[in-house]
Structure 1
Amino acid sequence: MKDPNKKYINWPTLALMGFVTVVGFDDLIYNFQNQGLSVIISWILMIVLYVVPYSMMVGHLGSAFNHETGGLSSWVRGTNGDFMGYLTAWTHWAASIPYIVDTANTIVIGIGWLINGTANLQDQLSNSGFALLTLVVFIVFIYIQSKFKNSMEFLSKVGGIAMFSMTVLFVVMTFTALSMGGHIETEPITAKALMPKFDFHYLTTIGLLIYGINGAESIAPFITKMRNPQKEFPKAMIMLAAMTGFLTIFGSFSLSVFFNAYHLPTDLKMNGSYYAFQALGQHFHLGNIFMYIFALTEILYLSALLAVLLDAMTRMLISDTGSKYIPKILQKTTASGLPINGYLLTCGLSAFIMMLGIFLPSMLDVFDWLLNLNGIISPGVTCWVFFAFIQVRRRSNEFPSDYTFIKNDKIAQIIGWWCLLITLAATIFGMGPKDVPSMSATWWYELIINIVAIASLVGLGAILPYLTKREDRSNKGAAFTQRQWIGITIALLATIVGDLYIGGTHARNSIWLMIVITVIGCTLIYLCGHKQHDLKEVEI
């Protein structure tokens, strides 16, 4: 029986909510540089074979776990227990670290365009200067978040809508320009150029495609607010897929109008959005007006997003997992409820990620590497969605749902496995560096820091429950004694510095030396913290 006083969400509204969270103009730029014209066919394949079933699975899970608000970690916890739920929450949070750093970097780029009106910033800043400005952005927005939390959440929604409006505007204005006799930079546009080349390079770029279109799980809680989810939710997801398809296909074609897909600028990922709106304005004899509007929109949106992410992701991790797996020191909050030590951990890991990239040849390489790192970690987290869906359909009697994606459990599981294997493959192949010559010195170094970054982010999550147990067993409420902490810190720093130094030699076999150093370092860390001298007395 439906509540006549309840306010329901209609399916077009839900589709628009999902559209804002799924794809943006920058995602078109990133993948256009990776694949050129062939990205158009790649987008079509992804929409049909991935986005539609992925969105439907999210709807099924959101409906099955409506009592737990449909969060990703709650889906896994409900099917595989608390610890797996914790691992999901941790990896979801860890995936936000490179994203936060990349967001802060992009804000710096946007400010540079707003001030200079050109891409000169990359020539003016060293890698260390780029990292320092990114750190300043972190500090500023931690302060803003602590003072103006609600306004930042509001601005993120306004900025998000404005960003998508700019993307649609670009597509419409491009076709208007063509109707007025505009010139297409990419010539010739042939069937061969449109067909993807399924080689190793292509496989390494799938992760960034998924990164550009995932995020549908954020609207899962709203399926329970629909009047008739079984009929209305599929309509919303079909509308979402249609809008995403329109934006990605026609947006990519629009880029080919202003950029020669056969000879793209090397800094397209970093500055391509600004180049595009700059070219659009010049075509209509409006100067840089579109570029400046886009720069303001980008800074507004990303600034609000960064402020919200710094707080929301930290609170989500701590509140979602509670005291069972997170050490008490990270659960500490200020009088105003600010998770101060969680903030410090976020900033510390972000600084660590920035430090890994600081030894790359240029600021452009740093930006591209961070972006590509998101193309590894983000799909990895999305794997949890399909894992949970498969578990739910294996035990469908235990998880009733108002909305069911494919009534036959066997077929549903096959589709779940299909999406899981694609996403897992994209994660693994995404480890291969892009935007640099294959097997070059920089290629090997980026491969090393990809491994170090992922191992560090995931490894820390595996260690925290162990620290929590030690903390609970200790009389002093600390996981390690002061002497143990000093030993662990020295061993950890020696491991990181050793890996970076070996990687910095750019030797082809340096990856094996890095593995040896890491194994030795982990052994030393374990030995330093193995003994516990202040255990509580065991009650008999």
Structure 2
Amino acid sequence: MTWKAITLMAFMTVWGFGNVVNGYAYFNGVKSIVSWVIVFVLYFIPYSLIVGELGSTFKESGAGVSAWIEKTFSKRLAYYAGWTYWVVHMPYISQKPLNVVIAASWAIYGDKRLSTYNIVHVQIVCILIFLCVLAFAQFGVKMVKHFCSVAGMVSIVLSFMFILMAVSAPAIRGTEITINAVPQDLASYIPDFNFGYFASFSILIFAVGGCEKISPYVNKMNKPGKDFPKSIIFMTIMVVVCAVIGTIALALMFDPLNPPKDMVTNGAYQAFQQLGNWYGVGDIFVKIYALSIAITNFAVMILSIDAPLRILIESSDEQFIPAKLKKQNKHGTYTNGTIMITIIVLILLIIPLFGIGGVNDMVSFLIKLNSVCMPLRYLWVFLAYFGLKRLLNQKAEYVMTKNALIGKILGAWCFGVTALFCILGMHNNNIYIMILNVLTPFVLIGLGLIMPYIAKKQREKLQN
């Protein structure tokens, strides 16, 4: 594979238009530009290069992070890595039904009326959608992967189209459109480095994560040692450019320094709607975008139920996984594992209703909760790299650094940054939401401590 192919693959894995919108909403419009540069230069580049070396070193390890931890530490820690990777998908899955409902509402009505609906009624619809997804998941995921790929590609193409058409609209459409004035002074782009800023930084960490998916392809490059870092640096430049231009495009439509309160809920759709108005095509852009988002989120739910569960069960040693979790139906779906997912996700869908009063608040809560939970799986990547640098005679096609001390420092840096901002991200002025932000990751990961005990009791029962 060429470095250009890896660059494109990494870009599509990491980036999306929703990241630009969330950054704009949480980091005060154009002030988010500096934040994107900071997170990519100081965090993403070492993170992705670490992943590249791990993938190149353990090229036969198909289980990814769990296998890396097993090779560098132990089977028990490998199980906990697999459990973390699986269980943090529960809040992720619980967010998707609401995304589907919002997207479907925009596709049908072309406005943000859903934000005014009773949150209890909306969550009931979300629960019904989730139960529908579970029914589909029982029949395997082969067809779903195809739909997800097509819908995902449509949304990516539309995202690029939006950025290009929005920034060029003033020149093309002239005086026919009304745009905001983008700030010209440098001070308007400097973030407010206060506690609120750092408490939201986990959203950026979450946005740039997931590049471990490209690790299996490092050894397939022509010259991994030279080409992989080049592809990552080039991809980082691409993402930063997209973040900058995308943010400026949004600033033409929304207040550059004070985004609307419902930006995370409706901002992307309003942006495509405005683009359609600028070019005189009505709601065609927002309808297509909303439909692609609804289909993608529906399909991603099914994939997120199946794939992480399969990785957990198939990559963990039997002494840690209860035998009953390995029960499969004729389609190869792990039925008891799916039941466990159902219970956890339904709890996550219901509990927030007791302290969250509206759709916009629910969307914001779920984004923040995911930014706290999902990056916890990255901690195992950095721990594996730290462990790798303790070992001798590990040969790889690509090595980020041959100096063990520097490698350990970089691994510890990324580990510390991830852990710190996950902890800070738990803060919220609403005490109920803050309690949920704190308890959810601890309870979900803590459940993993119970499974080996259950597995042990089952083995003892069979022996007796």
TM class by shorter chain equals: over 0.9
The Cα shift of 1:296 comes to 1.5
Is 1:383 aligned to 2:379, yes or no?
Answer: yes
2:270 matched to 1:275? yes
Equivalent of 1:173 in 145, 150, 165: 165
Residue 364 (structure 1) aligns with: 360
Residue number in structure 1 paired with 2:433: 446
Report % sequence identity.
29
Aligned with 1:263: secondary structure?
coil
> Across the two proteins, how many residue pairs are aligned to each other?
459
Specify the alignment match of 2:18 in structure 1: 26
On the 8 A contact 2:3/2:231 being kept in 1, the answer is yes
Number of the residue aligned with 1:327: 322
> Residue deviations 1:244-303, cap 9 Å, x none?
112212111211111103332211101111011011111112211110111111122222
1:466 has 2:453 as partner: yes
Give 2:153's aligned residue.
Answer: 161
Counterpart residue number, 2:390 = 394
CA separation in 1, counterparts of 2:163 and 2:243?
10
Q: How does 1:308-323 map to 2 (within 5 A)?
A: 308-323=303-318
| Pairing of 1:59-208 with structure 2 (within 5 A) | 59-69=52-62, 71-124=64-117, 126-147=118-139, 149-180=141-172, 181=174, 183-185=178-180, 188-208=183-203
Which amino acid is 2:34 matched to? Answer: I
Contact 1:62 1:69 in 2 (8 A): no
In structure 1, C-alpha distance between the alignment counterparts of 2:238 and 2:259, rounded to whole Å? 27
Matches of 1:178 and 1:242, distance apart in 2: 26
SS of residue in 1 equivalent to 2:201: helix
Q: Is the 8 A contact 1:18 1:240 kept in 2?
A: yes
Q: Taking structure 2 as the reference length, what is the TM-score of the superposition?
A: 0.95
- What SS is found at the alignment partner of 1:416? helix
Structure 2 residue corresponding to 1:245, chosen from 227, 240, 245: 240
Per the TM alignment, residue 388 of structure 1 is displaced from its structure 2 partner at its CA by 1.1
Q: Distance in 2 between matches of 1:64 and 1:468?
A: 32
Q: Which amino acid aligns with 1:306?
A: M
Give the gaps of 5 or more residues in structure 2. Answer: none
Matched, 1:45 2:32: no
- In the TM superposition, what is the alpha-carbon distance from 1:95 to its structure 2 partner? 1.1
The 1:220–1:70 alpha-carbon spacing in structure 2 relative to 1, beyond 3 Å, is farther
Cα separation, 1, equivalents of 2:246 and 2:307: 31
- Which of these two proteins has the greater Rg computed from alpha carbons? 1
Q: Is the 8 A contact 1:15 1:239 kept in 2?
A: yes
Contact 1:186 / 1:259 at 8 angstroms: preserved in 2? no
Secondary structure at 1:271 match in 2: helix
Following superposition, the deviation at residue 322 of structure 1 comes to 4.2
- Letter of the 1:94 partner, please give it: V
Structure 1 residue 357, shift from structure 2 partner: 1.0
Distance in 2 of aligned mates of 1:137 and 1:96? 17
Post-superposition Cα deviations, 1:7-63, rounded to whole Å, max 9, x if no partner, equal xx2221122112111121111111211112211001111121111111111100000
Structure 1 contact 377–454 (Cα < 8 Å) conserved: yes
Distance 2:170 2:394 in 1: 52
Post-superposition offset of 1:135: 1.8
Q: Report Cα offsets for 1:475-519 as digits up to 9, x if no partner.
A: xx5xxxxxxxxxxxxxxxxxxxxxxxxxxxxxxxxxxxxxxxxxx
2:265 alignment partner AA = M
- Contact 1:145 1:152 (8 Å CA) reproduced: no
**Structure 1 residues 183 and 122: alpha-carbon distance in aligned structure 2, compared to 1, 3 A threshold:** closer
Distance 2:317 2:15 in 1: 32
- Quote the RMSD (CA, aligned, Å): 1.7
**Structure 1 residue 233 corresponds to structure 2 residue 220:** no
Shift of 1:140: 2.0
Contact 2:140 2:332 in 1 (8 A): no
Aligned amino acid, residue 72 of structure 1: V
More contact order relative to length (CA 8 Å, sep ≥ 6): 2
- SS of the aligned residue for 2:222 comes to coil
Q: Secondary structure at 2:398's aligned position in 1?
A: coil
Question: Shift of the alpha carbon at 1:229?
Answer: 1.3
Residue 457, structure 1, aligned to residue 444, structure 2? yes
Matched with 1:338 is 333
Q: Determine which of 1, 16, 39 is the counterpart of 2:8.
A: 16
TM-fit CA distance, 1:139: 2.2
1:61 maps to amino acid: L
- What is the rounded CA distance, in whole Å, between the counterparts of 1:88 and 1:398 in structure 2? 24
AA partner of residue 78 (structure 1)? K
Question: 1:528 matched to which residue of 2?
Answer: none
Separation of aligned partners in 1, 2:137 and 2:317: 23
Q: 1:262 to 1:228 in 2, by over 3 A?
A: closer
Aligned counterparts of 1:186 and 1:332: Cα–Cα separation in 2: 60
Residue of structure 2 in register with 1:500 after alignment: none
Q: Distance in 2 between matches of 1:105 and 1:189?
A: 38
Instruction: Compute the displacement of 1:183 (Å).
Output: 4.6
- Whether the 8 Å CA contact 2:88–2:441 is kept in 1: the answer is no
- Secondary structure of the structure 2 residue equivalent to 1:63: helix
Change (3 A) 1:183 1:44: farther
In 1, distance between residues paired with 2:427 and 2:349? 19
CA contact (8 A) 1:18 1:216 kept: yes
SS of aligned partner of 2:282: coil
